[in-house]
Amino acid sequence: MIKKIPGETWKQLQFSGHKQLRKKYAVSSAGRAASFSADINEDGKILNGSLTSGYRTLNLHLDEGNGTIYLHREIAKLFCKKPSPKYKFVIHVNHKKEDNSFKNLKWATLEEVGTHQQDSPQKIAYKKRQANKTEGLKLNVVKVKAIKEAINNPKRKLTYKQMAEKYDVSEMTLYRIKSGENWSKVK
């Protein structure tokens, strides 16, 4: 039997092959998952699931292969209104992947997902650590200034590939410097 949370509602999951399984599965508005045979309130059992890249999942063994169900996506499908078909992704508003309450989930476009990830406290902390890092770097401020001047020079003769070889970095690093993703504080 499941301990009730005030205001929590349960909805059964409907997915390809769900009728072949011995148990039925449901998710709640509070972000929990459960299995049951007849009635969720009488014989339901809370499931912890697994973690896949930090997201809570259920791994179900279906005839046509294993089915991994991401709980946040299923909860959003059942409890959150999708503004339009272009909203294909689900984000955690508070950046906490373990908080699958429907109030913390929101449908988003790919562009919104990117912006949301950049505002994540973990990403901000990472950028701060990287900005203060001094050991183990291939580049320094002097080299980055030279790279930025070369990139912005309309008469430059070197390709990105040649510049990458010259400075012993990847071409992607040069593109990240150009876009300001890396070394944005260096002018």
User: Per-residue pLDDT tens for 34-50?
Assistant: 999 988 988 999 999 99
Same domain, 75 and 151: no
Instruction: Determine, yes or no, domain membership for 187.
Output: no
Instruction: Determine, yes or no, domain membership for 89.
Output: yes
Please give the average per-residue pLDDT across 14-19, as a whole number.
78
pLDDT given at position 17:
74
Same domain, 36 and 99: yes
**β-strand partners of 5:** none
Same domain, 75 and 105: yes
**β-strand partners of 68:** 59
User: Per-residue pLDDT tens for 56-110?
Assistant: 999 887 766 667 889 999 999 999 999 999 999 999 999 999 999 999 999 999 9
Question: How many domains is the chain built from?
Answer: 2
User: Per-residue pLDDT tens for 109-139?
Assistant: 999 999 999 999 988 898 888 777 777 778 8
Match 């045979």 to its residue by tokens.
Answer: 37
Please give the average per-residue pLDDT across 141-151, as a whole number.
89
Domain range for 49 = 10-122
Q: What is the pTM of this model?
A: 0.70
Which domain CATH number covers 43?
3.90.75.20
Same domain, 117 and 140: no
Q: What angle do CA 182, 185, 187 make, to 5 degrees?
A: 105
